[in-house]
Amino acid sequence: MSFTLAKPITSPQKGVHKNLEKTVLRHFNSQNQKPIAEHNRQMFTEAYQWWQGRKEPKVILDSGCGTGESSRYLAGLYPDHCVIGLDQSAKRLGHNDNIELPDNCLLLRCECTDFWRLAEQTQWSFDHHTLFYPNPYPKPQHLQRRWHGGAAFPSLLAISQKIELRTNWKIYAKEFYAALLIVNQHVERAVLHEYRPEQIVTAFERKYWQSGHSLWKVILPIPISFLKPAAANNTNKTNKG
């Protein structure tokens, strides 16, 4: 089958954004004022009620799941977990492979950051949170659109102690890792590395791998504790990775 090669990501930004630390700390030290959309509240309630009716206590959240391939894969791999895949694109979620989902898998059209904030407010925590190939937003002025540069980053970190981010843009991985270091006193517990997929689990992973891109992972494998007020003490560590 022929396919069009994906172009490598290009950006005038050549390393971790100079405003990363300032941006992350601002979000940790202020209230997120953005109103939560009613549609997202409804989707959140649907997810929460679905989970309450399930027998599996553990939940994997798959944010920005696109066509849901990774959510379906995780649901098969972990039959003792529920998997909730979120994406804002009805078109991607409408992929034919989603006509019949595994019983332990739910896909919802929902904006992720509102969902994370509602989960934090409800104290719903997830056993695992996967963030596979988020939109990179490579323009430097779009730092705040990246997951770690957004106002919902504190909520993202509050709702799961195990996070896995995958990307084909090394700078995105380095920044996500650096953002974890900015708020995390146990620096050594997050890892960033290049990987070769043994099993392709998403459409974008497949496209990038077949196009010869290098692929990157950031994993937060064990509990962390946050240093909200003292986070500024970690300033000298933010460019590692």
Q: Roughly what angle, to the nearest 10 degrees, separates helices 112-122 and 38-52?
A: 60
Measured from the CB atom, the residue of 88 and 211 that comes closer to ligand SAM is 88
User: Which member of 17, 24, 61, 64 binds ligand SAM (CB under 6 A)?
Assistant: 64
Nearer to ligand SAM, 36 or 203 (CB): 203
H helices, E strands: number in the chain: 8, 7
Nearer to ligand SAM, 130 or 234 (CB): 130
Listed residue (142, 201, 198, 190) closest to 169, CA to CA = 142
Smallest gap from Cβ 57 to ligand SAM, in A, equals 25
Cα within 13 Å of Cα(133), Cβ side: 21
- What's the alpha-carbon Rg for the chain, to the nearest Å? 17
Work out whether 88 is an interface residue with ligand SAM (CB under 6 A).
Answer: yes
Q: Please say whether the beta carbons of 130 and 69 come within 8 A.
A: no
Strand ranges for 20-137 from DSSP E = 58-63, 81-87, 105-109, 128-132
Site mask, ligand SAM, residues 105-144, x = CB under 6 A?
------xxx------------------xxxx---------
- 172 touches ligand SAM by CB under 6 A: no
Is 138 in contact with 71 (CB distance < 8 Å)?
A: no
Q: Does 200 bind ligand SAM (CB under 6 A)?
A: no
Tell me: does residue 65 bind ligand SAM (CB under 6 A): yes
108 versus 181: smaller Cβ distance to ligand SAM: 108
Smallest gap from Cβ 101 to ligand SAM, in A, equals 16
d(CA 151, CA 120): 13
Structure tokens at 38: 């009613």
Least gap, CB of 40 to ligand SAM (angstroms): 9
Neighbours of 64 (CB within 10 A): 21
Q: Which is nearer to ligand SAM, 168 or 184 (CB)?
A: 168
Which CB sits closer to ligand SAM, 104 or 168? Answer: 168
Question: Among residues 113 and 238, whose Cβ is nearest to ligand SAM?
Answer: 113
What burial class does residue 103 get, using C-beta atoms within 10 Å of its C-beta: 0-12 exposed, 13-18 middle, 19+ buried? exposed
**Rounded least distance, CB 95 to ligand SAM, Å:** 10
Site residues for ligand SAM, window 142-171 (CB under 6 A)? Answer: none
Where along the sequence are the contacts to ligand SAM (CB under 6 A)? 64-66, 70, 86-89, 92, 111-113, 132-135, 202-205
